Amino acid sequence: MLNNINLQVPTGAIYGFLGPNGAGKTTTLRLVLGLLKKQQGTIKIFGKEFDSNRVEVLKNIGSLIEAPSLYAHLTAVENLKIWQKIYQCPNERIAEVLAIVGLADTKKKKAGKFSLGMKQRLSIAVALLHNPKLLILDEPTNGLDPNGIIEVRELLKKLNKELGTSIVISSHLLAEIERMVTHVGIIHKGSVLFQGTLNDLHLKQTQTSVIKFTTDNAAKTKELIAAQGLKPVLSNGAVTIPTAEKELVAKINTALVNSGIQVYEIAVVKNDLEAIFIDLVKN
């Protein structure tokens, strides 16, 4: 069950919609697109109630939910011609979107012969055909190899930067999302736990960042740092402490060197999106 979900997607944003399996991501997106019938409550998009403005709202949205939906025996152009008739957009728009997604040279090759990455890009071309304000993508890199993931990521960043397309993208590939999005929404058990810019999320979790000391004698390093009144942690051959002032870090470094310890590295280790996500969901 969804609990008063209110996704705030600024114009021109790439919004990462994150959550564990079963959290409500796909259900939310299907409801927004009218693919699921709501059982209670209201749905508003672009400030308008969806039920009474369905056609007008959907004219401004392009989407790809789960697997690409293409005719395998048709070429890219032939697939797009079907949708062009439905959307009633200009015929020249077909060449435009194929160029945007990098499929202009596929010619007579059937979609069934496309790689999965090419199929995803063709599906995105379908979603772009009517020039929507908002693009909604559910797991668009699911099943892709590393090269395909990079292709889709760069395509979405290009769409956002050059065309100003607002994008909502759900994914379980948190490291990939972190390279792409400007804003994040985290959902768990039908409720939104966090919503804001990616930078806001990192600032919210700065207290969990640590400073790592890598030396030739981790045990003695821990002992000397503890003598400074801190509570160091020894893990994987390195010693960490909570984020500290740079003056204190310099003092620790001097103490280590004066004790004959070779200091190989002092680094601030910030939690990545995956660590922050796990921490939020767990708590």
- Is residue 27 domain-shared with residue 160, that is, in the same domain? yes
- Is residue 140 domain-shared with residue 225, that is, in the same domain? no
Into how many domains does the chain fold?
2
33's torsion region: left (phi>0), alpha (psi -120 to 50) or beta? alpha
Contacts of 229-238 spanning 24+ positions with Cβ under 8 A: 238/212, 238/213, 238/214
pLDDT, tens only, 86-101: 999 999 999 999 999 9
Q: Global pTM?
A: 0.76
Three-state DSSP class for residue 10: coil
What's the mean pLDDT when you consider all of the chain? 88
Supply the pLDDT for residue 206: 53
- Is residue 190 domain-shared with residue 241, that is, in the same domain? no
Range of the domain at 247: 205-282
More confident residue, 259 or 20: 259
- Is residue 65 domain-shared with residue 138, that is, in the same domain? yes
Is position 7 within any domain? no
- Predicted confidence band at 271 (pLDDT cuts at 50, 70, 90)? low
Supply the pLDDT for residue 283: 64
How many percent of the chain have pLDDT more than 70?
96
Supply the pLDDT for residue 205: 61
Which of 38-42, 57-61, 124-128, 231-235 bottoms out in mean pLDDT, i.e. has the lowest? 38-42
- Is residue 24 domain-shared with residue 157, that is, in the same domain? yes
Concatenated DSSP letters of 76-100: HHHHHHHHHHHHT--TTHHHHHHHH
Q: What is the mean pLDDT of residues 64-87?
A: 91
Is position 168 within any domain? yes
Those residues with Cβ within 8 angstroms of residue 263's Cβ, 6 or more apart along the chain or in another chain: 213, 214, 215, 253, 256, 257
Supply the pLDDT for residue 280: 73
Structure tokens at 103: 């499929």
Supply the pLDDT for residue 260: 96
pLDDT, tens only, 189-223: 888 888 999 888 877 665 557 889 999 999 999 99
Residue indicated by tokens 């508003």: 44
- Is residue 181 domain-shared with residue 228, that is, in the same domain? no
- Is residue 273 domain-shared with residue 226, that is, in the same domain? yes
